[in-house]
Amino acid sequence: MVIPIDASTFWQPIGLSIQISLIASAIVFLFSVFIAWKMAKARFIGKSIVETLLLLPLVLPPSVIGFILLVGLGRRSWIGRTYESIFGQPIVFSWEGAVIAATVVAFPLAYRTMRAGFEGVDSDLEDSARALGASEWQVFRYLSVPLAFRSLTAGYILGFCRGLGEFGATLMIAGNIPGKTQTIPTAIYVATDGGSMRMAWAWAGAILALSFLMLMLANRFTKD
């Protein structure tokens, strides 16, 4: 099926992709900052195992992540049934499912970047602040976060870009419903499969431009 070229057809996947990536990257940022801070400073038995689990989605094929999400959040799972009973719709084949997929695949990249930032904060400064009476929250808010700010910002941007380009997991759990769950990567896939190469090139150019601009911002924050 050849996709007609019009403004609505072109902009719908772009707008939805940006919306999904913004929400997913915000969720990723909140979780990554807290977990990265804890993992950067913590010393406990089994830390390497926890670290491996946190980074596992970075190396797993997106289709495997999508399959796990489909089983864990589908209508046969207790999570899926509970969600559907509360909100009146399943997680599968919804834009919420696309947000979850983008969040899962973007988390490891953002987490690893932020953890490196927190590891670069001088522990002696943090210990001195504690010795002067600062609470853990005060140390985190007024010392660790400002000193690691560049890495935190870069981690957020990289997470946004990763979520923007997510394809395999999104396709499995959210599908490819135009105007509802169709993102730029899935739109490119359908356009290519249907022989609409002009639309495929247009969407590819759009995601290339967005990713280029975001990575330029990330590079500015990671420069010495």
What are the backbone dihedrals phi and psi of residue 121, each rounded to the nearest 5 degrees, phi first? -75, 130
Residue 180 is encoded by which pair of tokens? 């509802």
pLDDT tens string 145-187: 989 888 899 899 989 989 998 998 998 998 888 888 899 999 9
- Work out the number of other CB atoms within 10 angstroms of the CB of residue 202: 17
Predicted local confidence at residue 4, as pLDDT: 54
Q: What is the pTM of this model?
A: 0.87
Q: At what angle do helices 78-87 and 62-73 cross, to 10 degrees?
A: 70
